[in-house]
Chain A
């Protein structure tokens, strides 16, 4: 079957790939672009581990057709840190012990980034809503919600 060329921006890098028609974005990011920071969880849109930002909005990469991201911007957990400097969310997750096995973490971080970019001062309920599509088996969610609120406060220069 003929492959389709797709060009998009992946974490600031111009990326051009030939993809199979009907390939999902998760597969293309992981196998095509080699970005293994985007996790493959359930593959059916219920666990949220594969969450990426498309033009700043959280999407489930496993349910996104790769051909639909032509000329769009994709942000993944791999692009969060600026060199050695961790993103405020990563620092807050690390300091707040917001991960145990870590499999949900990349998706949680991207769902949280999508929230904070659109709403820099979310309430606790808004944070819970924003990550409600992301399953975590280990933490009980509370440390994750706390970490996102901590990051929001720091990004706004507020005392935590």
Chain B
């Protein structure tokens, strides 16, 4: 029995969102009578942080404290239209819609404040702490709450905004077939170090090193947690999760957590992560969204590392001990490829 070390590399250009029908998302923003703002979306926060990020985006655009912004999601009966939470599109598509909606609400808020302060709206600015003041004269100010009350009870206007983000549909050029289905790519490179036991076929991931370029990390901790957690899911997909084998027949497939393998806290892999920021032009404050690609490059990197360790090329996932052992046997023994670099 020998333990073979292997190293594998994979990189990814990840298209943010999709362009079928323009991939639209809408947002609605309105103020409550006490000067807080409600952002209505139909996108769903699955735990990835959609609510936190859209709240930050709305707060930044409106110029009000983040505590004064509420995000209400996931009721497609009452909310505006959204294509959904998938394809790493949330931050980019929904965020852009929120910027547009919040900008329109801000414009109305500034007009209402201008009427109260008897100045021109273009001379006003927000301080980000809940006040609107005359540029260069901070003492001439009105709070957002007072502005909302005046708008609602005196001026008879709403402070609200509508936003939609739609990618210009791109048709294929009839001559060349060329098209621009995606406007924004994120990138990553990932290295896996692992060990393969040539007697049992077991693969143990020892370390992950990765670099992700996700535009601006609008919430660095959320980005980090998604990349770390997603890499774990990538390891799980690469090595463990399957509804096969169906021995002796399909009726015996795994159907619950008793028999569906996932790595537990004892299999935590050290992950050294570098987040590079290259803000995208058409992204909300430059943020592209880490989304799905947190898991994607892990799988090919593990497959490459297994090949590097024992010379077995697995082209079906997951890379189970059985597949590794069958490969080693077919090759007449383990064939370490040598450590690259």
Contacts and interface: CB of A to CB of B under 8 A. Distances in A.
B236 to A, nearest CB: 9
Contacts of A128: 264-266, 268
Nearest to B258: A46
A57 interface: no
B230 to A, nearest CB: 8
Given A42-B256, A46-B256, A46-B258, A139 B264 contact: no
A132 interface: yes
Contacts of B221: 97
B97 interface: no
A153 interface: no
Contacts of A134: 265
Contacts of B48: 100
Interface residues of B, number: 24
Interface string B220-237: 011011101111110000
Given A47-B257, A97-B225, A132 B46 contact: no
A136 B226 CA distance: 13
Given A42-B257, A140-B229, A101 B266 contact: no
Contacts, number: 69
A109 to B, nearest CB: 14
A145 B47 contact: no
Contact of A140 (B47, B231, B256, B266): B231
Prevailing SS type, chain B contact patch: helix
Contacts of B226: 100
Contacts of A140: 228-233, 268, 271
B262 interface: yes
Nearest to B46: A101
Given A138-B229, A140-B229, A100 B257 contact: no
B225 A100 contact: yes
A129 interface: yes
Contacts of A137: 233, 262
A66 B265 CA distance: 29
B268 A142 contact: yes
Contacts of B268: 128, 140-142, 145
Given A99-B47, A101-B47, A144 B265 contact: yes
B315 to A, nearest CB: 26
B266 A135 contact: no
Contacts of A129: 266
Given A99-B47, A132-B264, A141-B232, 8 more contacts: A46-B257, A100-B46, A100-B225, A128-B266, A136-B265, A140-B230, A142-B268, A143-B229
Interface of A: 42, 44, 46-47, 97, 99-102, 127-129, 131-132, 134-145
Would you list the 3 A-B pairs with minimal beta carbon distance, nearest first?
Answer: A140-B232, A101-B47, A100-B47
